Structure 1
Amino acid sequence: MVIGSDLIPQILLPGLKPNVGGSLIAQNSIFGWILSGPLTERVSTFSTQIVENPGDSLNDLLRRFWEQEEVPAESIPTDDDAFCEELYQRTTFRREDGRYVVKLPFKPSFPETIALGHSRPAAQQQYLSVERSIEKRAELQPYSKVLGEYITLNHMEPCSSHEIVRDGKYFSFYLRHHAVLKPDSKTTKVRVVFNASKLSHSGISLNDVLHTGPVLQNDLMLVILKSRLYRYVFNGDIEKMYRQIYVYDEDQDFQRILFRRSQQGPIEDFKLKTVTFGVNCAPYLAIRTLQKLAKDSQEGYPRSSEILTKETYVDDILSRINPRVFTTGLRYP
């Protein structure tokens, strides 16, 4: 703290100790003892600077303090949120095998005002770079196996290598993808990350032409605190939650990727058939479908419906166990 010399007489108190540590003089003050003089040993020092923010009045600080403790008010839906909800209710349906099919919430301005350009060349360049990284790093070898699982589970299928163009506007998009290592994961140590924010040749990305959708997930802190009320608790997660939900056939061409099944094989074109993490509306579509599943199952499985609605955070479940009857009875296809 730097103070003016005119204040020195006001802070000094009676008391003076010479030869402190052999070479220092200690002077008593209202802040404690002040040391001065030459040093014969190396010491570590630090300084603290305090700057007053003139924009934060005491009233503002107190108001913000109490606001931290308040339960957040429900957000008011925007016009975009209302559009997404209306589209979801009007277009979502359930197949005979129990899986839901949803439509991507494209903005009304697409493709008249905002349009996509070609994206395959940039995606191919990115994929070749990924392959070079896999060759150099042994820990990335499972990458191809993870993508191969998409084919095995029918979560993606081959498609044409020609981009869809009508009246000079593109109605397909290639997602660039890369590997992310998760060394601490007990299941999947290598994850594939799809990027829908990369720009096409027109300067517009897939995420630019899609609505994000409203935030629907429960408050994580409330889910955890509620579990503390129970004597017996269990936790679980919905396996491959996003990929349990399919998208409309005509929307799948906006989720194309490039992939080589084997080192000697050619690079092939595929389209992802399910909700894909990396597309901005994926969290909304997944959680909204989970809510719909809970509502559709409420009559037959009321307890399971309550768990999905109130005791689930995205794909993680934290709820109570009935020690006499441990069954939910609900099968998520």
Structure 2
Amino acid sequence: MWETDESPTETEISAVINGQSMNSRSINSTLNKLLERSWQLDLLGIEPPTAVKNKQTLNEELIKRFKATAVKDKDDKIHVQFPFNRKEEHLNDNYLVAVKRLISLVEKQLTNSVTRDAYHDIIMQQLASGIIEVAPEAEKQMGPHYFIPHRVIENLDSLTTKLRIVIDASSHMKNELSLNDCIYPGPSILKSIVGILLTREPFI
């Protein structure tokens, strides 16, 4: 069930759909491959039992590690370690990407005093509340470090948050790793769509 045979090519599929010159044996073979492929569980978003079990084991280990390393400070803020997946040894600092994004942000989005002031206020508020902090020079050589680019999302119709800052930990140089590539995703906290559909009352 989990073995994947060679799939029909796009040309073969087009020929079957358009009725182009293919003998009946070739057409039947291509259609059989298409039918078999359509029922493979990986295309349906369903993982094989072994993969599910391995992921569950890993997620349990990540939760144990989280509980063992999480620290609450005097302000009741919880500090946790990144769940690195051992790829962080090859993580570059992404500095050039972050600088390029910042220049683009200033030149294309922060073009008026209102937006610039709002952006500045958010940065200062996050500094004051401890959401972000200035990285000491001495810590730059302690473990992997990565400059995370950010961008600004404007919603002028919002009554509360007209501007917010969004970071991009998936950014990277060509052929390089991103921060997200070096971190285990961990267990999903979203409810299973299958469970939601099964518990819904039928619509009549």
CA contact (8 A) 1:118 1:202 kept: no
Could you say which residue in structure 2 is the equivalent of 1:117?
92
- Among 90, 101, 104, the residue aligned to 1:129: 104
| Residue 205 (str. 1) matches residue 165 (str. 2) | no
What secondary structure is seen at the aligned counterpart in 2 of 1:171? coil
Could you say which residue in structure 2 is the equivalent of 1:180?
153
- Among 179, 189, 196, the residue aligned to 1:216: 189
Structure 1 residue runs of 4 or more that deviate by more than 6 Å after TM superposition: none
Q: When the two structures are superposed, what TM-score results if normalisation uses the length of structure 1?
A: 0.38
Q: Residues 135-186 of structure 1: CA distance to partner in whole angstroms, max 9, x if unpaired?
A: 43566332222122111212222224688347xxx62110001111223432
What secondary structure is seen at the aligned counterpart in 2 of 1:178? strand
| Residue 108 (str. 1) matches residue 86 (str. 2) | yes
Could you say which residue in structure 2 is the equivalent of 1:89?
67
Go from structure 1 to structure 2 and tell me whether the alpha carbon gap of 1:135 and 1:105 turns closer, same or farther (over 3 Å shift): closer
What is the aligned length?
A: 153
Go from structure 1 to structure 2 and tell me whether the alpha carbon gap of 1:96 and 1:214 turns closer, same or farther (over 3 Å shift): same
Go from structure 1 to structure 2 and tell me whether the alpha carbon gap of 1:163 and 1:205 turns closer, same or farther (over 3 Å shift): farther
Go from structure 1 to structure 2 and tell me whether the alpha carbon gap of 1:162 and 1:179 turns closer, same or farther (over 3 Å shift): farther
- Which has the larger share of helix? 2
1:298-313 equivalence runs, <5 A: none
Go from structure 1 to structure 2 and tell me whether the alpha carbon gap of 1:88 and 1:135 turns closer, same or farther (over 3 Å shift): closer
Please state how far the C-alpha of 1:213 moved relative to its aligned partner: 0.8
Aligned alpha-carbon RMSD (Å): 3.5
Go from structure 1 to structure 2 and tell me whether the alpha carbon gap of 1:98 and 1:164 turns closer, same or farther (over 3 Å shift): closer
Over the matched positions of the two proteins, sequence identity in percent amounts to 18
- Structure showing greater radius of gyration is 1
Please state how far the C-alpha of 1:202 moved relative to its aligned partner: 6.7
- Which has the larger share of strand? 1
Please state how far the C-alpha of 1:95 moved relative to its aligned partner: 2.9
In the alignment, residue 68 of structure 2 is paired with which amino acid?
A: R
Could you say which residue in structure 2 is the equivalent of 1:235?
none
CA contact (8 A) 1:118 1:200 kept: no
- Among 193, 196, 216, the residue aligned to 2:166: 193
What secondary structure is seen at the aligned counterpart in 2 of 1:157? coil
What secondary structure is seen at the aligned counterpart in 2 of 1:97? coil
- Among 119, 128, 143, the residue aligned to 1:143: 119
| Residue 80 (str. 1) matches residue 81 (str. 2) | no
CA contact (8 A) 1:123 1:174 kept: yes
* Runs of 5+ consecutive residues of structure 1 not aligned to the other structure: 1-50, 61-74, 227-333
1:190-269 equivalence runs, <5 A: 190-200=163-173, 203-218=176-191
CA contact (8 A) 2:154 2:163 kept: yes
What secondary structure is seen at the aligned counterpart in 1 of 2:61? helix
Q: When the two structures are superposed, what TM-score results if normalisation uses the length of structure 2?
A: 0.59
In the alignment, residue 145 of structure 1 is paired with which amino acid?
A: D
Could you say which residue in structure 1 is the equivalent of 2:23?
none
- Among 129, 135, 142, the residue aligned to 1:153: 129
CA contact (8 A) 1:140 1:179 kept: no
* Runs of 5+ consecutive residues of structure 2 not aligned to the other structure: 1-16, 18-30, 40-51
